[in-house]
Amino acid sequence: MPQPESPATPVTFPPAFLWGAATSAYQIEGAVREDGRTPSIWDTFSHTPGKTAGGDHGDIAVDHYHRYRDDVALMADLGLTAYRFSVSWSRVQPTGRGPAVQRGLDFYRRLVDELLAHGIKPAVTLYHWDLPQELEDAGGWPERDTAYRFAEYAQIVGEALGDRVEQWITLNEPWCAAFLGYASGVHAPGRTDPAASLKAAHTLNLAHGLGTSALRASMPARNSVALSLNSSVVRPFSQDAADLAAAQKIDDLANGVFHGPILHGAYPQTLFTATELITDWSFVEDGDLALINQPLDALGLNYYTPALVSAADADTGGPRADGHGSSAHSPWPGADDVTFHQTPGERTEMGWTIDPTGLHDLIMRYTREAPGLPLYITENGAAYDDKPDPDGRVHDPERIAYLQGHLAAVRRAIADGADVRGYYLWSLLDNFEWAYGYEKRFGAVYVDYATLERTPKSSALWYGRAARTGTLPEVQSIQ
């Protein structure tokens, strides 16, 4: 199976390439009851017994809300040139509607000012899964009105930060919000309604389109508007017609349901066919596709591992071992006739197979899918069981090898003609990893959850050297 690439000659990136790290609000901020913030769906979900590992929640998380200056200084010390963070909707607009709470916006103003003072380019993600609970109580993402509330929120944040932030992302991984939140229930709000999940996907698409228009109306024209998709690299188990059809079905549910209307102004007909027993898609109203199909300035791609699928047979069930958490309910509506397979090879602590060729394939697909559209890798990284040594240092050679292999794949895609302009490591800090609580560490910076002390891991030092030089260091260069 594919292994991380180890080029014999130095891998050098274009001079303007952005070297960033990414986080999300609920995973790191804490301060959930300060300065007017009200509960999001993740506050509610994480405080519901049995929903997260160990009953963990983000009440304190890693206290970035109070330690952001130290965290920005740490990024600067490492040599990072960009930072992608998300805004907490319920910190800015506590009920999901109405006027902004300026104390909430002031935190993001201070954060942006601190980044700019250190020469770090901010990239704002408006939605990273933390819907205000009051909007969920009113129907959540399956409710069409939520898209219009999102547009109002986008305008508020755009007006507050658009003079200083040039890079904007409307939604992060709408697939997870729709299908893990409303179909399998492993993410907030924990609903298990396949029809609602498809309706949620459409409302998220509509929110992206309306939010894009709202941002452009409230910010300088120089600013870039994008979204981040966790598009799956779906590979058939064999070239048999049944396995190819299974791969097409999962590709539609993972990818086409979003990039179809967003990039091309239409849902795949095969998606309608696959889900016809679940919904008739009558919630798609006249004019919706035109609202969704707004021109993008860039596209963010999040990648971790490929998917390997086949048609189910009499001895196998539907899609369960797909790497998206354990549930009796599938996140793949209409795909109970598809089986997911664990690909062989080395795996991360999440159980995800390490395969940099998937990232190259993903980049080249969207180079063909949306020619001329700049691309950013807005998430890529790995969880490992990191522990300090007796001297307090944290060595994570597995993560260094992971990053080296995937960044080499990015550079190979650039050489093959892809316009990739930056890479955001997931994640800057160890943090609250959603339903996995604090068990999984994705950070390049180790966080002692008892003291909240930050310690850059070997991978952070390696990545910082890459950022400063524009060239990938040898895997063994940081000890």
| DSSP state for residue 268 in the 8-state scheme | -
- Find, among 469, 478, 471, 467, the residue nearest to 120 by Cα: 467
Contact call for residues 76 and 82 (beta carbons, < 8 A): no
Contact call for residues 354 and 306 (beta carbons, < 8 A): no
Contact call for residues 40 and 88 (beta carbons, < 8 A): yes
Cα 40 to Cα 32: distance, rounded to the nearest angstrom: 9
Q: What is the CB neighbour count within 10 angstroms for residue 450? A: 6
Catalytic, 379? Answer yes
Cα 395 to Cα 406: distance, rounded to the nearest angstrom: 19
Lookup: tokens for 458: 């070997």
Cα 244 to Cα 439: distance, rounded to the nearest angstrom: 36
Catalytic, 134? Answer no
Cα 402 to Cα 354: distance, rounded to the nearest angstrom: 7
- Find, among 8, 85, 57, 43, the residue nearest to 426 by Cα: 85
| DSSP state for residue 329 in the 8-state scheme | S
Contacts of 195 (CB under 8 A, 6+ apart): 278, 279, 333
The residue annotated as part of the active site, out of 114, 379, 398, 433, is: 379
| DSSP state for residue 136 in the 8-state scheme | H
Conformation bin of residue 254: beta by default, left when phi > 0, alpha when psi is -120 to 50: alpha
CA distances from 472 to 22, 80, 124 (A): 19, 14, 27
- Find, among 385, 443, 415, the residue nearest to 5 by Cα: 415
Contact call for residues 117 and 109 (beta carbons, < 8 A): no
Lookup: tokens for 258: 């979003």
The residue annotated as part of the active site, out of 5, 114, 136, 173, is: 173
Q: Got the DSSP string for 58-119? A: SSSTT-HHHHHHHHHHHHHHHT--EEEEE--HHHHSTTSSSS--HHHHHHHHHHHHHHHHTT
Q: Which residues are catalytic?
A: 173, 379
